[in-house]
Structure 1
Amino acid sequence: MRLSQSVSSVLLLATASIAQAASSWSFDEGLVSIAARKGADGVKEKLNAKTPLSKPISLGSSDALKVALTAKDNGKGKRPHQLFVVLKDKDSGLEAPFPLTTKESGKAVVQITQKDIPVQLLVATKPLEVSIVIGSFGSAQAYNSRVFDVQIKTDPTAPAPSYEKPVRYGPKPEIHHIFRADPQSPPKIISLFFAAAVVATVPALFLAWLILGANVNHLSKAISAAPLSHASFFGSIVAMEFVFFMYYTSWNLFQMLPVAGVVGVVTVLSGTKALGEVQSRRLAGER
């Protein structure tokens, strides 16, 4: 009893394996033809699902390559989910698929001209591999096999197709940066002109003080009341002008900013006390 059950199990597994192996896609009634231009003989060759053609087929610039077949699932004509003729460059591995127009009975056909073929394949020096791909939903094994080769013959009188390889991600040549030259100072004549204009404002300042009635007698009172504050305030203003002069002539920005920051702090602290002293005298009625 156990022996009969074991034999039955083995037979069932073998039958299932054979059925699964036999269920696969293929094609029959395959035919490839070249519809040549007027005055030239066409080409017709039968296609075999197991053995590719021994010689490549030539496709001229005005020719049309036609592939017709009947797709079959386990020997029965049937429309698959996918049915393509694929052209492949042997060197680069680039492929171009062409879907076949398929009926419910499995009969399919496609027509290809050089206008339909990508330029990357037109410039190939070797014959292109032509494969047929058949597949669908279900457990049936798909079909993908080379059936023949095609040699592209371009028109010698027409410009040769050109192709530039796309930019790919990868190492590039080293880039050497060329930085622009350091900024130059303006011409000396312009600098002298504006320096003279600034110096000319000093007499104008003293003249304005005389016209407005500035009281110089308070200078001694201010210095005696807050000598350090007034001296520091005036000195910080002169020092700031010196900082700007050095920045203009030789210093860079990183040399000028720290010094300007220190001088600015002195100006604020001393100026607050110095101007506060002036305010106190004015509030006392002194003019």
Structure 2
Amino acid sequence: MRFSQSLASAALLVAAGVAQAASSWSFDDASLAISAKKASEAVKEKLNPKTPLSKPVTLGSTDTLKVALTAKDNGKAKRPHQAFVVLKEQDSGLEVPFPLTTKDNGKAVVHIAQKDIPVQLLVSTKPLKGSIVIGSFGSAQGYNSQVFEVEITTDPNAPAPHYEKPLRYGKKEEIHHIFRADPKSPPKVISLFFTLAVAATVPALFIGWLALGANLNHLSKAIGAAPLSHATFFGSIVAMEFVFFMYYTSWNLFQTLPVAGLVSIATVLSGTKALGEVQRRRLAGDR
């Protein structure tokens, strides 16, 4: 007898545990209504938690979609912690939730106008999937299932909704950089003109030297006193002119700068000694 009572008690406990585990949220007395300006165009459909509507409903630019239901926990009307109507775009998977206004007796309602729907969903070419999500604290399983589809029709007299995808950081296609062509030399006529202009200053240079009393007899003295410095100094000036010529004809800046730097160093070092030698002779009265 005691064994039978213990077995019966165990069976009741197991049944209670199974019933508690099977507890889940759902809804009842649900309806979907489209409110339009013209009463003849209004639509109202009953929603079933197990079977979605067979045909999509149409939401116009001035219409309002209304979903009303009674949330139930294991068959009893109850206010859930969360209740939403979720619209989802089929191709991209983007979705937007609309919270239901719920009462303590489980009754809930939400109104959705076309202006409330993001433009990413308005431009969809396919009907939006409408789901109802209900859940709360505790062990009861939440409800999340598609129950209807809604097709968006925009106002033909208004500008069509336009959406541009935002810039997102990620892997991009490989960029093949194409450098612009090297700069070309100016026309030969212009180059010849400036060459002749520079060459014309050479006679003026010699005339100026003679007018200022240049003495070519000092050339032998200078070379005798510091042959290496004077030769290097003069040679570096000629070399620098050669560098400028090569830069003008064929070299680029990266080829010109290292050579010009080396020639400049030679010019400074040799010029210091060569001009120092000239200064010493001038100070000694050799003019």
3-state DSSP class of the match of 2:198? Answer: helix
Structure 1 segment 170-209 matched on structure 2, within 5 A:
172=173, 177-209=177-209
Q: Distance in 2 between matches of 1:235 and 1:90?
A: 81
Give the Å deviation of 1:38: 1.9
Q: Distance in 2 between matches of 1:273 and 1:2?
A: 124
Q: What is aligned with 1:131?
A: 131
Q: Distance in 1 between matches of 2:74 and 2:127?
A: 32
Q: Match of 1:19, as an amino acid?
A: Q
Is 2:234 the counterpart of 1:234? yes
C-alpha distance 89-252 of structure 1, shift in aligned 2 (>3 A) = closer
Q: Distance in 1 between matches of 2:204 and 2:127?
A: 94
Q: What is aligned with 2:248?
A: 248
Is 2:284 the counterpart of 1:268? no
Q: What is aligned with 2:16?
A: 15
1:126-154 per-position Cα deviation (integer Å, ceiling 9, x unaligned): 43321101123444322111122233345
Q: Distance in 1 between matches of 2:239 and 2:171?
A: 57
Scaled by the length of structure 1, what TM-score is found?
0.80
Give the Å deviation of 1:157: 6.3
1:169-227 per-position Cα deviation (integer Å, ceiling 9, x unaligned): 5664x656554332121233332333333333333333433444444332221111122
Q: What is aligned with 1:222?
A: 222
Q: What is aligned with 2:113?
A: 113
C-alpha distance 41-188 of structure 1, shift in aligned 2 (>3 A) = closer
Give the Å deviation of 1:25: 2.4
Scaled by the length of structure 2, what TM-score is found?
0.80
Greater CA deviation, 242-251 or 184-193? 184-193
Q: Distance in 2 between matches of 1:240 and 1:250?
A: 15
Q: Distance in 2 between matches of 1:14 and 1:216?
A: 127
* Consecutive unaligned residues in structure 2, runs of 5 or more: none
* Consecutive unaligned residues in structure 1, runs of 5 or more: none
Q: Distance in 2 between matches of 1:208 and 1:5?
A: 133
C-alpha distance 162-235 of structure 1, shift in aligned 2 (>3 A) = closer
Give the Å deviation of 1:111: 1.5
Q: Match of 2:249, as an amino acid?
A: T
Give the Å deviation of 1:54: 3.4
C-alpha distance 214-78 of structure 1, shift in aligned 2 (>3 A) = farther
Q: Distance in 1 between matches of 2:275 and 2:7?
A: 114
Q: Distance in 1 between matches of 2:133 and 2:37?
A: 29
C-alpha distance 94-189 of structure 1, shift in aligned 2 (>3 A) = same
3-state DSSP class of the match of 1:251? Answer: coil
Q: Match of 2:79, as an amino acid?
A: R
Q: Distance in 2 between matches of 1:124 and 1:223?
A: 91
Give the Å deviation of 1:40: 1.1
3-state DSSP class of the match of 1:93? Answer: coil
CA RMSD of aligned residues (A): 3.5
Would you say how many aligned residue pairs link Structure 1 and Structure 2? 285
Q: Distance in 2 between matches of 1:7 and 1:268?
A: 113
C-alpha distance 170-230 of structure 1, shift in aligned 2 (>3 A) = closer
Q: What percentage of residue pairs aligned between the two structures are identical?
A: 74
Q: Distance in 1 between matches of 2:153 and 2:200?
A: 88
Is 2:93 the counterpart of 1:93? yes
C-alpha distance 196-63 of structure 1, shift in aligned 2 (>3 A) = same
